[in-house]
Structure 1
Amino acid sequence: MATPDEVDAMRRAVALASYGLGHTSPNPAVGCVILDAGGRVVGEGWHQRAGGPHAEVHALRAAGEQARGGTALVTLEPCDHTGRTGPCTEALIAAGITRVHYALADPTAPAPGGATILAAAGLEVEAGLLAKEAEAVNEPWLTAIRRGRPFVLWKFASTLDGRSAAADGTSRWITSPDSRADVHRLRAEADAIVIGSGTLHADDPQLTVRGRDGASQPLRVVADTNATIPPGARILDDAAPTLIAVAEDADTTLLPSLPGVELVRLPRNTSATGTPATGLDVDALLAELYGRGMRSVLLEGGPTLAGAFLAAGAVDKVIGYLAPALLGAGPAAVADAGVATIAHALRLEVADTTWLGPDLRVTAVPTAL
């Protein structure tokens, strides 16, 4: 049974874990707090980057000798394998920790058994403290591990009548500066941002994180089926790496060859009848990104790409920024998603609603994934 001090410490560990979002893939975001034998906080840490020390190591270093006889609160089961760093179980045992609380079991195949090793060494080990809160922080990584593909968050902005742009194609700016700042938070927490060629030609976005100190720039991905990206596109600058995904049979002779810009060929999408359809195969694109270590994807593409991801069942969460405005005409926020009748509507469960200036941010998850 956890003490009040241990509950508070785990809550702090969950908050620390969130600092690693956008920096740790393909590893999880983990936080750790060390209490001394009297229940006082003597060390804190979080996993800061893949290949670097794990959260437990950072916290133990901060605690020093005060960790001996103390308790470790960790958001994920301590690892017992050697990769680019040593086992956290060994570090905890060597530091003289006598009690370990962890929120979530480690679901990865190479790393189970940490709790068993600790218990065998005589430590008191308990699981499940603030598991729901810890799961929420690591939702992208956990989803990716369980489904074998990156977690996909689709972000869109629209008017109250569902328009993503006016009839003449203009869309800057539908939402307020508050909403746009929040989008940069989403970008900072993602491993990759995905758009389609339609968005690229219409908006020429740079797709970088701005206004977030210390943020890592995610991989910029363009689903450019027919290799139409122009040489002067802002996404080709050196502010962040870029991946251009084209069809296997696309003519790429006119595509620019630049440092930091990589090309990958993927199969085209196929219709229900097996004939070629518009765009790239969504599953193939996600498999490519997963193989590159991407565990979270922010889908910022326009209505066509959003519809393709929804039709493929590849959207795990939706965040819509709704502006108090009406256009009456113009493109909708999402195009064909394979829904022909109301009975087949893609139903969502609203998880959160928040006001951002004049806009309403709605967070929802599909109910049938």
Structure 2
Amino acid sequence: MTATTAERDAMRRALELATRGPRGVNPQVGAVLLSPDGTVLAEGWHRGAGTPHAEVAALMQLAPGAAHGATAVVTLEPCNHTGRTGPCSEALIAAGVARVVYAIPDPNAVSSGGAERLRTAGVDVVSGVLADEATALLDSWLTVQRLGRPHVTVKWAQSLDGRAAADDGTSQWITGPAARADVHRRRAASDAIVVGTGTVIADDPSLTAREDDGSLSPQQPVPVVLGARGIPADAAVRRHPLPLVQYAGDLHAALDDLRAKGVHRVFVEGGPAVASSFVREGLVDEYLVYVAPVLLGGDRLAVRDVGVSTITGALRLTPERIERLGDDLLIVASPATEGDR
């Protein structure tokens, strides 16, 4: 079975509705209910954890029995489990919906299976409608489902000879304005920014995302500091628009907690000890290395011990692209897969 023109139009509308919901632990989902002749009966979207799912939110707009024979157009496969709310598959069946059209399957093993439940009940089911658009909308949420943790980008800036600072510890600024502006754009696209207590004490960063004119970006990452040392009361990070989060435990536990808080994308800025710890634990999904055409020498390396003792144990990366930012270079890389090694 294929989707009708009215159903495809309804899916576009459902994708628009989905963006009204918050991005977090739960996916952004939109739903549109159509009559048998293609008329829009009701619309709904998920408004956050504990609230009715999109399909149920749409059904609630109708009088009892008004959805009988209707088509439900949903951006994500209706769920089939009971959490804070009941299964959407059962709600659609109980409402007498005759057909369900959805964009992408639910990758969560706990909540998936709604399509099969609907088919078993005799409901016509069509999948894959505007799947690319729905995947783009839910990209970060889908990544978290696949990884079981937030997506982690590790960034550092270094001299051409691999140093993060001069011998006296000064590091501002190794790279130029274009590279720094690129970092701020990437901060704004992240949910959390991570540094160690050493960086907070040495550099006193604000950990904010800023526009080219120096003003705060509308979207700000949650400031996260790793380490048990106390953070000074007058530290710039304490003036961040969002509350500071600090972890003294292991990285896996920190990422688990951030995921529970609805964080999808983590931007690790260091310093070298923190960056190296993420690499060593195998928790890096993307590397951003900003390279400035300067030589510093000395011992202040951008990356420290990553668990490699011999050349055969080198952590191989796959270069994704290289960009020129003013006089600097940005190397974007990802961990090499078995086939790349």
Please name the residue that 1:104 is paired with: 105
Corresponding position of 1:367 = 336
1:102 partner letter: A
CA drift at 1:145 = 3.9
CA distance in 1: counterparts of 2:109 and 2:326, whole angstroms: 41
Residue in 2 that maps onto 1:155: 155
Matches for 1:301-312 after TM superposition, within 5 Å: 301-312=270-281
The corresponding residue for 1:207 is 207
Question: 2:48 & 2:331 partners in 1: Cα distance?
Answer: 30
1:317-332 aligned at under 5 Å gives the runs: 317-318=286-287, 320=288, 322=290, 325-329=292-296, 331-332=300-301
Is the CA contact 2:67–2:96 (under 8 Å) kept in the aligned structure 1?
no
Return the offset for 1:307.
0.9
Q: Which residue is 2:213 aligned to?
A: none
Distance 1:178 1:91, change over 3 A: farther
Change (3 A) 1:180 1:107: same
Mark the runs of 5 or more structure 2 residues left unpaired by the alignment: 211-215
- Measured in 2, the distance between the counterparts of 1:132 and 1:90 equals 27
Corresponding position: 1:347 with 2:333: no
Distance 1:133 1:305, change over 3 A: farther
User: 1:38: Cα distance to partner?
Assistant: 6.1
SS of equivalent to 1:99: strand
Distance 2:13 2:312 in 1: 44
Given that 1:175 and 1:321 are in contact with CA atoms closer than 8 Å, whether structure 2 keeps it comes out as no
**Which of 219, 223, 226 in structure 2 is aligned with 1:223?**
226
Query: How many angstroms apart in 2 are the aligned matches of 1:363 and 1:34?
Result: 43
CA distance in 2, matches of 1:234, 1:359: 27
Q: CA deviation at 1:313?
A: 0.7
**Larger-gyration structure (1/2):** 2
Kindly indicate whether the alpha-carbon contact (under 8 Å) linking 1:24 and 1:48 is maintained by their aligned counterparts in 2.
no
What's the CA shift for 1:195? 1.2
Instruction: Render the CA deviation track for 1:187-236: whole Å, top value 9, x for unaligned.
Output: 3xx2x3321122212322222455444x4x554321124x1422221223
1:185 matched to which residue of 2? 188
Point out where structure 1 has 5 or more consecutive residues left out of the alignment.
Answer: 247-265, 267-280
User: Which residue is equivalent to 2:245?
Assistant: 243
Which whole-Å deviations, capped at 9, do the CAs of 1:221-275 have from their partners, x for residues lacking one? 21124x14222212234732223223xxxxxxxxxxxxxxxxxxx3xxxxxxxxx
Contact conserved, 1:79 with 1:87, CA < 8 A, in 2? yes
Residue 198 of structure 2 corresponds to residue 198 of structure 1 = yes
Q: Distance in 2 between matches of 1:135 and 1:283?
A: 27
Mark the CA change 1:175 to 1:123 in structure 2 (over 3 Å): closer, same or farther: farther
CA 1:355/1:41 → structure 2, altered by over 3 Å: closer, same or farther?
farther
Partner residue of 1:50? 49
Q: Which moved more, 1:97-106 or 1:155-164?
A: 155-164
CA gap of 1:47–1:183, structure 2 versus 1, over 3 A, is farther
Identity %: 41
Is contact 1:24-1:50 (8 Å) kept?
A: no
> Is the Cα–Cα contact under 8 Å of residues 34 and 41 in structure 2 kept in the other structure?
yes
Could you tell me which amino acid in structure 2 is paired with residue 343 of structure 1? T
Match of 1:316 in 2: 285
Structure 1 residue 26 and structure 2 residue 25: aligned?
yes
| TM, length-normalised to structure 2 | 0.72
Q: Count how many residue pairs are aligned between Structure 1 and Structure 2.
A: 324
| Change over 3 Å in CA distance of 1:37–1:368 after alignment to 2 | same
Paired letter, 2:25: P
In 2: Cα distance, 1:194 partner to 1:26 partner: 19
Q: How big is the shift at 1:96?
A: 4.2
**Alignment-derived partner of residue 115 in structure 2:** 115
Q: For structure 1, which segment, 287-296 or 6-15, has the greater mean C-alpha deviation from structure 2 after superposition?
A: 6-15
| Structure 1 residue 304 displacement after superposition | 1.5
Name the structure 2 match of 1:275: none
Q: What per-residue deviation string (whole Å, max 9, x for no partner) do you get for residues 57-108 of structure 1?
A: 566789998997445141x321234444454335545384623223123414
Does the residue aligned with 2:119 lie in a helix, a strand or coil?
Answer: helix
In 2, the alpha carbon distance for the partners of 1:241 and 1:38 equals: 51
